[in-house]
Amino acid sequence: MIRHAEVVIIGGGVTGASIAFHLAAVGVRDVLVLERNSLASGGTGWSVGIVRQLYPTPETSQMVVRSLAAFRGFRDVVGGESGYIDCGVVIGVSAAMRPKLEETVIRQRSFGVRAEVLEPRDLARIEPRINGDHLGAVLYEPESGYGDPTAVTTGYAAAARRRGVRIEQGVEVVAIRTAGDHVTGVETASGDRVDTPVVVNAAGLWSGAVAQLAGIALPIIVGRHPVFVVERDAGFGRPHLVYLDLAGGSYARPETGGLTLTGSLTDDEAQHPMAPELLGSDVSLGDAADVLERTGRAIPRLAEARYRRGWVGAFDITPDWMPIIDESPVRGLWIAAGMSGHGFKLSPAVGEMMAALITGAAPPVDPAPFAFGRFTATSPSGTFVASYLG
């Protein structure tokens, strides 16, 4: 069968769904989202969903501020629930990191970020269960928190459908058709052909393989990032704030049912390349022990928490740990990938920016730092922790 669409989006994760919603919102309704599995079955469905606002550049600061507003106003603007909980985020840094933190926060205020740099002793009034002994300062973001990546994806998808977007699940793209220097369509595993002048690669962990279908090499590696779930003891009290311990190398975010999700902040993902098919598989107890020890130092009460389970997650990582939001050298083939662990918290802004770029409008945030051609190396030179403070 031969069909036609104005835009084909490959991938029904939070990125593809947000782009579909934002395209429809600016009037591009003949959009077809092709998802080989089911919505949010990729990295999105395994995400921890933390929304912190500390970012070192004007563009990422603007993106996270816009995205936070979108999560908070999701019900009114998009419909459905983002599951956003503004419990507050605390970020602990070493003494050496403090000057950079102070500079960054001053810059970020002009973009509307609400955050204050505090002394470790101030934890006593904000979150006394955090251990401040090894910290040089803490950042407190009272409006930050976490959301539900699957709910955001299905919310965007439902709203896009109401505006005419077609979303097909269980449909894998196996070929990208080109003529000369531009894209002309895609082919699916069932033998269908969809003619289109615009294809968006929003295939997350699989974006490298999808780009290869058009002969494009993306400088993206898939790096392992396991997540662990612990059950807080009955005497723990109210859920803790989200805590990102940049000095000690771990994070913890509360979950319903007395649970806490925790993982590593040691920048080692790029050293652990992984086949994306392993996403969601079991973790080893050795992995868990190492991270839980660090989490127990960060929030000592969690040292007594009972380990429940874990899963293998992964990030699609570019050399500078920042996304690619740009047209590829094949005209009409756009890339929204390489989210490098930021893909949930930036997804509303990525959708807005891609919709503007594809329709030739001015994007709400300067896309220059996310250009396809910006890389001189193919392996990561930046770090995830550097994506907080530069």
Ligand X SMILES: Cc1cc2nc3c(=O)[nH]c(=O)nc-3n(C[C@H](O)[C@H](O)[C@H](O)COP(=O)(O)OP(=O)(O)OC[C@H]3O[C@@H](n4cnc5c(N)ncnc54)[C@H](O)[C@@H]3O)c2cc1C
Contact between 33 and ligand X (CB under 6 A)?
Answer: no
Contact between 290 and ligand X (CB under 6 A)?
Answer: no
With contacts defined by CB under 6 A, how many residues of the chain interact with ligand X? Answer: 39
Stretch that binds ligand X, among 71-79, 200-208, 296-304, 376-384 (CB under 6 A): 200-208
Q: Is 257 left (phi over 0), alpha (psi -120 to 50) or beta?
A: left
Distance CA 256, CA 233 (A): 13
| Interaction mask 151-190, ligand X, x per CB under 6 A | ---------------------xx-----------------
For ligand X, the binding residue among 21, 46, 74, 321 (CB under 6 A) is 46
For ligand X, the binding residue among 7, 8, 9, 14 (CB under 6 A) is 14
For ligand X, the binding residue among 313, 319, 332, 367 (CB under 6 A) is 313
For ligand X, the binding residue among 7, 15, 152, 262 (CB under 6 A) is 15
For ligand X, the binding residue among 120, 132, 185, 204 (CB under 6 A) is 204
Q: Is 238 exposed, middle or buried (0-12, 13-18, 19+ CB in 10 A)?
A: exposed
Stretch that binds ligand X, among 46-54, 55-63, 68-76, 92-100 (CB under 6 A): 46-54
Tokens linked to 97: 């990191």
Contact between 36 and ligand X (CB under 6 A)?
Answer: yes
Beta bridge partners of 51: 145
Q: How far is the CB of 334 from ligand X (least distance, A)?
A: 13
350's enclosing H/E stretch is helix 347-359
Contact between 205 and ligand X (CB under 6 A)?
Answer: yes
The DSSP secondary structure of 235-300, one letter per residue, reads GG-SPPPEEEETTTTEEEEEETTTEEEEEE-SS-GGGSB--GGGTTPPPPHHHHHHHHHHHHHHSG
Contact status, residue 227 vs residue 75, Cβ threshold 8 Å: no
| Interaction mask 106-145, ligand X, x per CB under 6 A | ----------------------------------------
Contact between 225 and ligand X (CB under 6 A)?
Answer: yes
For the chain, what's the residue count?
390
Distance CA 262, CA 111 (A): 29
Distance CA 320, CA 78 (A): 32
Distance CA 278, CA 310 (A): 13
* Residues forming the site for ligand X (CB under 6 A): 10-16, 34-37, 41-44, 46-50, 149, 172-173, 202-206, 210, 225, 227, 313-314, 339, 341-345
